[in-house]
């Protein structure tokens, strides 16, 4: 038995050496020339430190699901060791949703810069993680040192076929005083030989079912397709409808294509004008379906929505992540469907963003793990991760602050069990500054993980930090850049959840002397998990300026007696 084990180990080592030391002169690489064609270049003609191969863990990625890029560079078997810098940039053309409109826009972002150590082996590899946040066509450019760039074309699609915008969790609030058009975005897959996507029928139905209005004056704003695989493509269609003849009200939307009928409840709100004074409510971390407690989160959230309808009557509600605790299609309960049932109880439009728990695809017993799957959130609640809208002369940005990060990607740590969020990508920072943001008016940002805390991350494998504010349970990537954005671009509030605490902090992580000295970084307690503190944050706005943002009870006294 022992001899057999030694033989197997020896064989494994020989195989490994064969792959490692195999001559690389037979390798060729497609090098893009100026006219868009590719020439085959032998590796023996490539200098040490130059890129010889680029591979993707997924050739056709989807929104919000990280992929791994492996970059291989030539080693320097006969020379000295040295470090090489690899810069990766993304030139994209993709979908941007802002202010009840959707446009196909272009941009260029450097999303990573890594260093690779080159030694005497024939080749070296570097893993780069890419978190796609823009659906569309991407040209990724890889530059190693001063060598010519290498490029790869990648399409990023949606992981659902549906009306992408508006939706239950990203409704369209149309102000007739500003525009009389309703923008609809549809994403649908087809075989490459089939006809392109067309909308055959579209209608709005009041949420109480009292009346239905046909949308029959269609104008196509934009149409394109993205590769799903060799035989299938994904159509992205942006269509406008004139709604001047449709009365003000709150509507469900239904569209029919040649292939399917798609419906979103509570997706369109039509108004004559927006008020100068308005309020909205932030609810967060309801964790529907959470195990190991005696709370029925669904019933509790339903009672909160009932109170909001009857007593608060806000212009809209934001749900800032961890909407469900975990999702399992084999479970008898579908927690996202239960969440749908609660959201449609709300008389006001509801805007959502995902949290780390909305990615969990099966039951977690004791430990957090880094999960990335948002497909169920996209299918049942909201196909978008990052978007913006303007209301009452104020801009609102809703951002995906990422998945579980730090120690849980390294090894388990029982000392500080709540993970940080991966944070914001360079592309998201670019979108804040150039697309979703509008620093000419006051802005509020809503995301799940906070950017500022009053204590630093602690315990083994904690996230390093050199900012004056604490970073415990905060975003990991681009924290400093995001705070700088908030300081420079008229941001009033950054509303977050995740920590299940109520805190108001300035950018230094300290309690402010003046709570109206912007920007304020605000954490809000779970709407359901604290029986003694069932509520949310009520934000009052007048003339485009935040007047107050107190955490308030959102339930009747009888709530605790049931």
Angle between helices 335-343 and 297-307 (to 10 degrees): 10
Backbone angles phi, psi at 34, to 5 degrees: -65, -30
pLDDT score, position 557: 59
pLDDT score, position 363: 58
On whether residue 207 sits in a domain, the answer given is no
Q: Please give the sequence-ordered ranges of beta strands (E in DSSP) within 399-533, or none if there are none.
A: 404-405, 420-423, 443-446, 475-477, 491-496, 503-505, 520-523
pLDDT score, position 4: 43
Contact assessment for residue 376 and residue 336, using Cβ atoms and an 8 Å cutoff: yes
On whether residue 168 sits in a domain, the answer given is no
The one-digit pLDDT tens for each residue of the chain (562 residues) are 444 444 444 444 444 444 333 333 333 444 443 333 334 455 567 899 999 999 999 989 999 899 999 999 999 999 999 999 999 999 999 999 998 899 999 999 999 999 999 999 999 999 999 999 999 999 999 999 999 999 999 999 999 999 999 999 999 999 999 999 999 999 999 999 999 999 999 999 999 999 999 999 999 999 999 999 989 999 999 999 999 999 999 999 999 999 999 999 999 999 999 999 999 999 999 999 987 778 899 999 999 999 999 999 999 999 999 999 988 766 778 999 999 999 999 999 999 999 999 998 765 544 555 578 899 999 999 999 999 999 999 999 999 999 988 644 443 444 445 578 999 999 999 999 999 999 999 999 999 999 999 999 877 668 888 999 999 999 999 999 999 999 999 999 999 999 999 999 999 999 999 999 999 999 999 999 988 889 999 999 999 999 999 999 998 854 443 4
pLDDT score, position 15: 40
Q: Which two tokens stand for residue 432?
A: 């804040």
Domain finish residue from 156, 173, 190 = 156
Place of tokens 């195989």: 15
The rounded distance, in Å, linking the Cα atoms of 412 and 237 is: 44
On whether residue 25 sits in a domain, the answer given is yes
pLDDT score, position 43: 55
Q: What's the CATH code of the domain at 352?
A: 3.60.21.10
CA–centroid distance for 217 within its chain: 33
Domain finish residue from 156, 187, 213 = 156
pLDDT score, position 560: 44
On whether residue 265 sits in a domain, the answer given is no
The rounded distance, in Å, linking the Cα atoms of 420 and 425 is: 15
Q: Provide the number of structural domains found in the chain.
A: 2
On whether residue 268 sits in a domain, the answer given is no
Domain finish residue from 132, 156, 180 = 156
The rounded distance, in Å, linking the Cα atoms of 384 and 100 is: 13
Predicted model pTM = 0.90
Fill in the DSSP letter of residue 7. Answer: H
pLDDT score, position 420: 87
DSSP 273-342: ---SEEEEEEE----BT--SSS--HHHHHHHHHHHIIIII--SEEEEES--BS---TTSS--HHHHHHHH
pLDDT score, position 2: 42
**Domain containing residue 57:** 2-156
Q: What's the CATH code of the domain at 61?
A: 2.60.40.10
On whether residue 335 sits in a domain, the answer given is yes
Fill in the DSSP letter of residue 230. Answer: S
Q: How many CB atoms lie within 10 A of CB 544?
A: 15
3-class DSSP state of 299: helix
On whether residue 212 sits in a domain, the answer given is no
CA–centroid distance for 311 within its chain: 32
Task: Tell whether 278 and 147 lie within a shared domain.
Answer: no
Q: Angle at Cα 418 formed by Cα 416 and Cα 420, nearest 5°?
A: 105
On whether residue 358 sits in a domain, the answer given is yes
């Amino acid at each position: 038995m022992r001899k057999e084990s030694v033989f197997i180990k020896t064989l494994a080592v020989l195989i490994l050496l064969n792959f490692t030391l195999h001559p690389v002169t037979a390798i060729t690489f497609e090098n893009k020339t100026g006219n868009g064609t590719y020439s085959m270049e032998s590796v023996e003609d490539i200098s040490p430190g130059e890129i010889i191969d680029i591979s993707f863990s997924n050739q056709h990625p989807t929104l919000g699901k990280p992929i791994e890029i492996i970059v291989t560079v030539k080693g320097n078997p006969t020379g000295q060791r040295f470090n090489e810098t690899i810069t990766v940039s993304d030139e994209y053309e993709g979908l941007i949703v802002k202010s009840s409109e959707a446009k196909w826009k272009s941009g260029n972002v450097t999303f990573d810069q890594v260093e690779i150590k080159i030694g005497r082996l024939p080749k070296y590899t570097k893993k780069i993680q890419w978190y796609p946040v823009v659906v569309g066509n991407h040209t990724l450019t890889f530059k190693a040192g001063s060598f010519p760039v290498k490029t790869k074309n990648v399409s990023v699609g949606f992981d659902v076929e549906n009306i992408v915008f508006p939706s239950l969790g990203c409704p369209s609030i149309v102000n007739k005083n500003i525009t009389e058009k309703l923008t609809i975005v549809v994403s649908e897959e087809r075989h490459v030989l089939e006809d392109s996507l067309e909308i055959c029928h579209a209608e709005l139905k009041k949420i109480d079912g009292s009346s239905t209005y046909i949308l029959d004056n269609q104008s196509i704003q934009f149409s394109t397709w993205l590769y799903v695989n060799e035989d299938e493509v994904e159509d992205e269609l942006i269509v406008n409808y004139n709604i001047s003849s449709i009365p003000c009200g709150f509507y469900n939307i239904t569209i029919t294509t040649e292939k399917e009928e798609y419906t979103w409840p509570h997706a369109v709100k039509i108004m004559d004008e927006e008020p100068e004074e308005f309020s909205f409510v932030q609810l967060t971390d309801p964790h529907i379906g959470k195990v190991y407690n005696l709370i029925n989160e669904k019933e509790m959230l339903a009672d909160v929505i009932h109170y909001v309808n009857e007593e608060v009557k806000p212009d809209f509600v934001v749900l800032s992540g961890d909407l469900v605790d975990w999702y399992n299609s084999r479970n008898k309960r579908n927690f996202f469907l239960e969440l749908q049932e609660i959201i449609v109880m709300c008389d006001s439009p509801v805007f959502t963003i995902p949290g780390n728990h909305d990615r969990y695809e099966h039951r977690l017993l004791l430990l957090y793990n880094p999960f990335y799957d948002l497909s169920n959130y996209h299918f049942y609640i909201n196909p978008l991760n990052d978007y913006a809208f303007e209301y009452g002369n104020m801009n609102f940005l809703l951002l995906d602050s990422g998945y579980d990060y730090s120690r849980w990607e390294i090894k388990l740590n029982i000392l500080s069990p709540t993970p940080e969020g991966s944070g914001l990508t360079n592309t998201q920072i670019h979108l804040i500054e150039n697309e979703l943001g509008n620093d000419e008016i006051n802005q509020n940002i809503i995301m799940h993980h906070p950017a500022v805390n009053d204590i630093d991350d602690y315990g083994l494998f904690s996230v390093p930090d050199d900012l004056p504010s604490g970073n415990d349970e905060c975003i990991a990537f681009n924290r400093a850049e995001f705070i700088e954005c908030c300081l420079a671009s008229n941001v009033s509030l950054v509303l977050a959840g995740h920590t299940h605490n109520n805190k108001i902090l300035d950018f230094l992580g300290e309690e402010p002397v003046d709570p109206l000295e912007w920007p304020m970084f605000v954490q809000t307690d779970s709407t359901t998990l604290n029986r003694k503190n069932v509520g949310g944050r009520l934000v009052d706005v007048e003339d485009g300026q935040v007047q107050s943002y107190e955490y308030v009870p959102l339930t009747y006294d009888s709530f605790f007696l049931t």
